[in-house]
Amino acid sequence: MNNLVKKLLFTVLVFTTMLSAGFESALKKQKFLTPEEAFTVTAVLNDDVIETKIEMAEKIHIYKDALHYRITKPQALELQVEKPKAHDFDGEMVYAKTLELNIPKALIEEQVSGAYTLEIEFQGCSDAGICYQPIQKTFTFEGTELGTLEKIAQMIQEGNTAKIADILVHESSIFILLLFFVFGLLLALTPCIFPMIPILSSIIISQQGGNEKPSVARAFFTSLVYVLAMAATYTAVGIIAGLLGADIQTAMQNPWVLIVFAGMFVALAFSLFGYYEIGLPTAWQSKISKASDEAQGKGILGTAMMGLLSALIVGPCVAPPLGGAVLFISHTGDALLGGSALFIMSLGMGMPLLLVGIGAGKFMPRPGGWMTTVSQIFGVMMLGLGIFMLSRIMPDSITLILWALLLMGSALFMGVFNNSTESKGAKKLVQLFALVFMIWGASLFVGALSGAHSMLHPFSEFTSNKAVTTAIVEDKMGRLGYSVERLKKEVKASKKPVVVDFGKDSCTACTELEEITFPDALVKKQLKNFTFIQIDLTANSTDDKALLKEFELFGTPNIIFFDKNNKYLPEKSMTGFISPKVFAKHLETIAK
């Protein structure tokens, strides 16, 4: 029995030895490569292009879907690059042998400045079946450090509140204040500031008295009060909105606020027409004169009030600098730096208004009959601004009737029906303009009765296709009733990148986007590559507020983006009016 056991054990030992030798021989015949042997990755800067190359050993491949090019420093950024054509391998799209891809240097440096780190991530397998873990290779490049003015220009063009808030965190205080001052100067060149010029000019003219030439000091002092009131308002709005998360501008779109402000415009208009004079009570003026010249003190309270309300209602619809500062304050609680930046920005916005004050005193001729005419012109402008305020809460038909009455009334005062033979020289030209105003006003009146909605198209109801009109109304209705859940559901259902536009009726910049940017041929061509969602936040409902909070947005207009994988791209967001050319180029970078 013992001999039998010994023979069995000997047999098992021999068999195990032979089997082990066979496996060892097989392993020697098939050697699997290490990741370093299977893949060689390089990235070299050549002029304005980063040339990347992944070289694969024989019978090695990498998957197209697992290939990513991104920036990891100084910020995380997925690069939207066009990958080469792949081939099919067992139902998967793969690359083999050599994969070359060139990345334009400008694609990176338009989004980051200074040194940056490029990461190339991929996953590959052997044709024999073994697969490697995901591999990341990083390469550091010096990049181009943007100058101060270039940084400012880039921030303005992008209109991204998140990036502006990021600058507030990482840049020096001096650079931040300079940045916001230049922001203010550039905002002063936009249509947002234009309505303030006639308001201030009318205030200056209404405060002139006597037969002496207007004083430069008096006009400048009036302008300074107006600008400082405007600056204080923007600062307070930014600090309160940042600390409390409140949309102050939305609150100021309350119908009662708009009615009161429109009433102030009308009151100022009738003052300019000569029916009465607006000023502080005599007792108040006497007290003010103790600290300042009586002429300078006259109307200071009214001037400050007009500056305060103009900043809230006539000013830009939450410009990117304002949104960026508010976002910074809400995240850090640093109201001092954020408020200082907004105050400096407002002073930049007010520079043209200060020049108006200086010019009113220095270049304006001596008082005379011409001042009555100028006052009446500004009075008409005040009435127009009053109608503009009320148009945000009134039906379009009523708004058109008010514009019609203003135009026809102006035409009558300009002498539209006077004997033309008595008009000579410039008076003839004035009478021609009066005739144009009368025809336009009458057209608006007829258009209002027919149900038209636009001053530029008063006869649209007579010429438009009813089917098109119905489609427009349905499109407007489709923008209502959005919640965070509904938006995310629609984004998830999209097979393309998504553009989401947040707007509302009382926002001037939103209207400019609707009438100028979105209808542009180049923009429409790019939008074909996206799912375009428009959301109306006019109602300021609980769902509307939740949407703004979800994406850290303040006011309107705001445009956000999602990539084709439904990933939110906060670094691509845009705030305020965007020109068609800039918007089309921005869409192109996301669609790639």
Of 33-47, 169-183, 273-287, 396-410, which range is least confident? 273-287
Mean local confidence (pLDDT), 210-230: 75
Confidence tier at 148 by pLDDT (50, 70, 90):
low
pLDDT at 279 over 70: no
| Angle value at C-alpha 492, between 531 and 558, nearest 5 degrees | 55
Establish how many alpha carbons lie within 13 A of residue 253's alpha carbon, considering only the half-sphere containing its beta carbon.
23
How far apart, in whole angstroms, are the C-alpha atoms of residue 187 and residue 252? 21
How far apart, in whole angstroms, are the C-alpha atoms of residue 567 and residue 412? 60
Establish how many alpha carbons lie within 13 A of residue 363's alpha carbon, considering only the half-sphere containing its beta carbon.
6
> Which ranges of 30-90 would DSSP assign to H, the alpha helix?
35-38
How far apart, in whole angstroms, are the C-alpha atoms of residue 547 and residue 532? 17
Mean local confidence (pLDDT), 65-69: 93
How far apart, in whole angstroms, are the C-alpha atoms of residue 355 and residue 88? 68
Structure tokens, 418:
């006077």
DSSP code string of 336-363: HHHHHHHHHHHHHHHHHHHHHHHHHHHT
Core vs surface per residue 434-469: b (16+ CB within 10 A) or e: beebbebbebbbbbbeeebbebeebeebeeeeeeee
- Whether omega before 74 lies within 30 degrees of 0, making that bond cis, reads yes
**Are the folds of 35-141 and 471-591 the same?**
no
Q: Which residue has the higher pLDDT, 219 or 387?
A: 387
Q: Which residues contact 5 (CB under 8 A, 6 or more apart)?
A: none
Query: Mean pLDDT highest for which of 169-173, 270-274, 279-283, 524-528?
Result: 524-528
Phi, psi for residue 71 in degrees, rounded to 5: -100, 130
Q: Which residue has the higher pLDDT, 169 or 518?
A: 518
The fourth-level CATH superfamily of domain 35-141 is Thiol:disulfide interchange protein DsbD, N-terminal domain (2.60.40.1250)
pLDDT above 90 covers a percentage of the chain that reads 19
Structure tokens, 275:
């029916």
How far apart, in whole angstroms, are the C-alpha atoms of residue 461 and residue 446? 10
Mean local confidence (pLDDT), 353-373: 65
What's the pLDDT score for residue 506? 66
How far apart, in whole angstroms, are the C-alpha atoms of residue 224 and residue 236? 18
Confidence tier at 129 by pLDDT (50, 70, 90):
confident
What's the pLDDT score for residue 451? 80
Mean local confidence (pLDDT), 253-268: 75
Structure tokens, 568:
């939110």
Confidence tier at 40 by pLDDT (50, 70, 90):
very high
Q: Residue with structure tokens 């949104």? A: 323
Mean local confidence (pLDDT), 9-14: 45
What's the pLDDT score for residue 307? 78
What's the pLDDT score for residue 499? 94
Query: Mean pLDDT highest for which of 280-289, 295-304, 481-490, 563-572?
Result: 481-490
pLDDT at 21 over 50: no
What's the pLDDT score for residue 15? 44
What's the pLDDT score for residue 157? 62
What's the pLDDT score for residue 531? 92
Domain ranges of the chain: 35-141, 153-392, 395-406+415-464, 471-591
Mean local confidence (pLDDT), 310-328: 63
pLDDT at 207 over 90: no
Sheet holding 49-56, edge to edge: 39-46, 49-56, 98-104
- Whether omega before 557 lies within 30 degrees of 0, making that bond cis, reads yes
Of 211, 201, 199, 195, the C-alpha closest to 360 is 201
SS3 53: strand
pLDDT at 163 over 80: no
Confidence tier at 56 by pLDDT (50, 70, 90):
very high
Mean local confidence (pLDDT), 198-206: 70
What's the pLDDT score for residue 10? 43
What's the pLDDT score for residue 101? 94
Confidence tier at 395 by pLDDT (50, 70, 90):
confident
Query: Mean pLDDT highest for which of 125-129, 167-171, 522-526, 540-544?
Result: 522-526
Contact 159, 167 (CB under 8 A): no
Contact 351, 188 (CB under 8 A): yes
Q: Which residue has the higher pLDDT, 205 or 338?
A: 338
CATH of domain 471-591: 3.40.30.10
Establish how many alpha carbons lie within 13 A of residue 371's alpha carbon, considering only the half-sphere containing its beta carbon.
21
CA torsion sign, 234 to 236 to 239 to 241? negative
Where does residue 160 rank: exposed (0-12), middle (13-18), buried (19+ CB within 10 A)? buried
Average pLDDT of the chain?
77
pLDDT at 462 over 80: no
What's the pLDDT score for residue 366? 54
